[in-house]
Amino acid sequence: MLELTHKFGLNDRTGIEISVPRERSGGIPSIENKLRTTKTLLSRDLRRRITYEDFNLENEVSLERIEEIIEEIVSWAKDNPSRGIIVNRLLSFGFVRGKANEYTDVIKFDYFNFARWTTADSLNFSIGQGEHAYTPLQMNKFMEMLANGGYRMETSILRRIQNHSGEILHEFEAKLIDRIVFEDEENLAIINHGMFQVNESGTARRYFTNLPVDVAGKTGTAQKSGFIPPINEVDYLLNNLKNFNVDEVVVREKMTELVKDNDGKYEDEASTMRQAIRLLNPAITNQILNQFKDEYDNFAWYTGFAPYQDPEIAISVLIIQGGSGGFAAPIFREIVAEHMGLNLLENEGRGLNENILRR
């Protein structure tokens, strides 16, 4: 599966002429990526959980020391030490025994044991779940290759250059990068037919009932963890200071102190304010600071090609926080209709709601 996914280019940038910002690429699940993700999630979780009260009274622990401890704990992920070893290490850091046991169970059983690749990961990989992360452009190239029989063509925004009179000055021919050799070509036909059936009798059927063109496609729902950043993080924090049991005047004074004493470390007002709040109220964690923010809704996907039997166009639609993939299907349908000339008006006097393609 990994080999074929790489051949479809799903781990690479497409090479489109975008430099500002630079084109980004998603990634294929792998052992290395899973370990990296596990470390990141564990680090975030520990930052939300650990407070000054978790340590013995004789241990004076600063926020900087807590960060060092978290980094040390995260570095154990690959080795996945036994529960007893983790408990002893946490005790050596000065954690009270109850917290050492509590955090050991989180570290060991919620994170370390899931950092390795398992049969479940292979099953997730095969159905597009887990650590898959791709851009709309990558998915569109994938659809293009399904439609054209496995030919990987150069991606470009340029087709031709012409002057103001319409004279073609230069035409850019599509260049072949690679061709996937399938063990059985019939497998590709089966996949494409399955995508056709999605719109005939599957999850997207109702969106294509009146479209006089057969299309192949797939709905999708992608999850994004975390909180939606507010328009202004500082305003968000100020509006919730009472919930954090701190006073704005004192917070502002602590911010000034942080900026003065840390020589350029705190240049961003929002991050400085977050740190000041945590220092003034050690019971406050990042999780508590974020608790009044909204979480991300699912992202809606629809991707495919048309016409099904003789493809001309590949399309990928992504709606950020769009809910389910069905909400992206009508957009796909309208692009197909426009490309196939189905939105042409019979006469100029008819309105857009009376176009040839009936919704």
From the list 327, 334, 330, 325, the residue with the least C-alpha distance to 219 is 325
Query: Which residue type sits at 333?
Result: R
Reported as a pLDDT band with limits 50, 70 and 90, residue 124 is: confident
Tell whether the model's pLDDT for residue 346 goes beyond 60. no
Fold adopted by 196-225+296-359: Beta-Lactamase (3.30.450)
Residues 13-30 as b/e (b if ≥16 CB within 10 A, e otherwise) read: bbeeeeeeeeeebbbbbe
Q: What is the pLDDT of residues 281-307, one digit of tens each?
A: 988 888 889 999 988 888 999 999 999
The predicted pLDDT at position 345 comes to: 54
Asked, as a colleague might, if the bond just before 29 is cis with ω within 30 of 0, I would say: no
Q: What is the pLDDT of residues 194-230, one digit of tens each?
A: 999 999 988 888 899 889 999 999 998 888 777 888 9
The predicted pLDDT at position 350 comes to: 46
Tell whether the model's pLDDT for residue 359 goes beyond 60. no
Percent of the chain with pLDDT over 70: 95
Q: How many Å apart are CA 32 and CA 21, to the nearest integer?
A: 26
Given a contact cutoff of 8 angstroms between Cβ atoms, the answer to whether 86 and 74 are in contact is no
Strand partners, 318: 301
Q: What three-state secondary structure class fits 202?
A: coil
Q: Which two tokens stand for residue 271?
A: 């991050």
Looking at beta carbons, which pairs linking 9-12 to residues 24 or more positions away fall under 8 Å?
9/138, 9/141, 9/142, 9/145, 9/152, 10/134, 10/138, 10/142, 12/138
CA distances from 156 to 28, 76, 169, 291 (A): 23, 44, 17, 43
Q: List, in sequence order, every beta strand (DSSP E) within the chain.
A: 151-153, 160-162, 168-171, 176-179, 216-222, 299-306, 313-319
Q: How many Å apart are CA 3 and CA 44, to the nearest integer?
A: 32
In terms of residues, how long is the chain? 359
Helix (H) or strand (E) holding 101: helix 97-105
Q: What is the pLDDT of residues 243-279, one digit of tens each?
A: 999 999 999 999 998 888 877 677 789 989 999 999 9
Q: How many Å apart are CA 88 and CA 86, to the nearest integer?
A: 5
Query: Helix and strand tally (H, E) in the chain?
Result: 13, 7
The domain segmentation of the chain, as residue ranges, is: 31-114, 196-225+296-359, 233-287
Average pLDDT over every residue of 58-86: 91
Q: Which residues contact 204 (CB under 8 A, 6 or more apart)?
A: 198, 217, 219, 302, 325, 326, 329
The predicted pLDDT at position 31 comes to: 84
